[in-house]
Amino acid sequence: MTGSYKGSKPGPIEPELQERIQSLSSQKTHYPPYTTSDKTLTASECTAPSALEAGSIKSEGPAEDPKDEPPVGHRLDHYTSSVPETSEGEHTYPEGGLQAWLVVFGSFCGMTTAFGLINCIGPIQAYIMTHQLESYEESTVGWIFSVYIFLTFFCGIQIGPVFDTYGPRLLLLAGSFCLCTSVLTLGVCTEYYQFMLCFGILNGIGTSLIFSPAISAVCHFFLRKRGNATGIAAAGGSVGGTIFPLMLQSLIPKVGFGWATRILGFVLAVLCVLCCTLVRSRLPPKPGSSVMPDFRIFARADMALTTAGIFFMEWGLFIPISYLTSYMLSTGATSETFSYQLIAILNAGSCFGRWLPGYVADRFGRFNLMLLAILLCAVTTLGLWLPASILSMDESNRFDTAIVVLVIVYAAAFGFASGSNISLTPVCVGQLCETQEYGRYYATAYSVVSLGTLTGLPIAGALIETCGGDYYGMAAFTGICYFVGIAAFGSVRVMKVGWNVKAIF
């Protein structure tokens, strides 16, 4: 017996089988939406069959199920529920490149303009309460800034769907005109109604026209790195919130309130030009979509609970931003200059808080990081600001160093934690909807959230008056709002991935 091969020689491939091999090798595969019930897959498990492997498949057998393969255009080490439940197989995302990062930079400039101004309302409110509107109650003045924040989010109910259909350019141009006009004319306001019309209404509409399309456009270029990209863009609000209060504090004694706000307006105009030039959309509108908001999204329990979580989070978020300066001025524990600088400290912490959690969330889960951030907001508010507020109730403790230390630590820690409230909210909403409908979902959710921003500051002002000028009631209210937000976001996570604390979602 020899060692030579005794089997038959391979013959030519049958024509039908050859045709089958060619059809399989050139066939495009479409991927269904990923659901959280699917198991985590690694890249090695998501390999498409080669043409040679396809030749071993019998022509009458079923084709291999492609559902375990990752979407086209993505190299994923982990394909988990951290990726939005969308039909992304129809579109690829650059995940970088010059145009994508220019859009992020343009969005950064837009957020510096829009949210930078929101983040410095504390010093502006404290100034006009002691000058132009000193005869008005604190809760009454608070309505100006509540209307401003309310319109910023409520107007998105129409702006988001319009962005989905027509893109960002005209929205950004209109918003830039409204916002810059508002700030440039703020210095000539002397009456309550003038501040309400100029800053509350016109500025609120302008901010909304910039904010919604600027942050939504980033999602057209990023999917796997969406948290990181959105965090970088959202950090612009903290940069503006750090620079603008210090800028006003330096300019007002030198040139007066009027010219200080005009100079600020010119700076905002330059940023608006960059935003309008660089921000653009990329994905086509979904077929059959309209510009009308869709409240049917709340029929989904996950969207309803997510919106509720954002509502309570935003209800508490703007209270420290607006009243921390006023609180320190009321204690007399520090100079007036340092009281204004507290907001700069808060926003400096927020700058890191907007980018870092967004970067980490892409790996460990957006909802996971959001829960940790909200918990830190609640703990710092009840563990630092509330004790400081209680200490300052006693006249003998008004100049206690402990109050100053507690408030400084609180400003930095709360700033870091609350920064992620802004950067993670868009990606949490985006995780629950298709990218082409993101503007509609985000805007519809914030049409409800805006009601919280409308009432939050007047409630805080009323609590100060009820507590005899002390701030402990307001601090307690803020902490409770955050704990309710934790319950809502936690419920969504349990619905999606159960009680597994290690699950990435």
Query: In a 10 Å sphere around its CB, with 0-12 CB exposed, 13-18 middle and 19+ buried, how is residue 15 labelled?
Result: exposed
User: Is there a contact between 237 and 422 (Cβ–Cβ < 8 Å)?
Assistant: yes
User: Is there a contact between 412 and 350 (Cβ–Cβ < 8 Å)?
Assistant: no
Give the separation between CA 449 and CA 183, rounded to whole angstroms.
Answer: 25
- How distant, in Å, are the alpha carbons of 50, 69, 212, 394 from that of 26? 10, 16, 41, 79
Architecture of domain 88-497: Up-down Bundle (1.20)
| Beta partners for residue 79, in sequence order | 41
Q: Give residue-wise pLDDT tens across range 333-380.
A: 788 788 888 888 998 888 888 777 767 877 888 899 999 999 999 999
* pLDDT score of 20: 54
Q: Give residue-wise pLDDT tens across range 17-39.
A: 555 555 544 544 444 444 444 43
Average pLDDT of the residues in 267-279:
95
* pLDDT score of 407: 93
Give the separation between CA 224 and CA 309, rounded to whole angstroms.
Answer: 24
The three-point CA angle 86-91-94 to 5° equals: 110
Q: Give residue-wise pLDDT tens across range 71-128.
A: 433 333 333 334 343 335 456 777 878 888 999 999 999 999 998 998 888 888 888 9
* pLDDT score of 290: 54
| Beta partners for residue 432, in sequence order | none
* pLDDT score of 302: 93
User: Is there a contact between 350 and 485 (Cβ–Cβ < 8 Å)?
Assistant: no
Average pLDDT of the residues in 381-407:
86
User: Is there a contact between 165 and 293 (Cβ–Cβ < 8 Å)?
Assistant: no
> Residue 303's closest CA among 447, 429, 151, 460?
429
The answer, yes or no, to whether residue 383 has pLDDT greater than 60, is: yes
* pLDDT score of 426: 80
Whole-model pTM?
A: 0.71
User: Is there a contact between 257 and 187 (Cβ–Cβ < 8 Å)?
Assistant: yes
- Domain spans of the chain, in order of start: 88-497
Q: Give residue-wise pLDDT tens across range 238-251.
A: 899 889 989 998 89
The answer, yes or no, to whether residue 52 has pLDDT greater than 50, is: no
Mean confidence (pLDDT) of the chain: 79
Look at 259 and 157; give whichever has higher pLDDT: 259
Average pLDDT of the residues in 324-341:
83
The answer, yes or no, to whether residue 433 has pLDDT greater than 90, is: no
pLDDT confidence tier of residue 67, bands split at 50, 70 and 90: very low
pLDDT confidence tier of residue 399, bands split at 50, 70 and 90: low
pLDDT confidence tier of residue 15, bands split at 50, 70 and 90: low
pLDDT confidence tier of residue 14, bands split at 50, 70 and 90: low
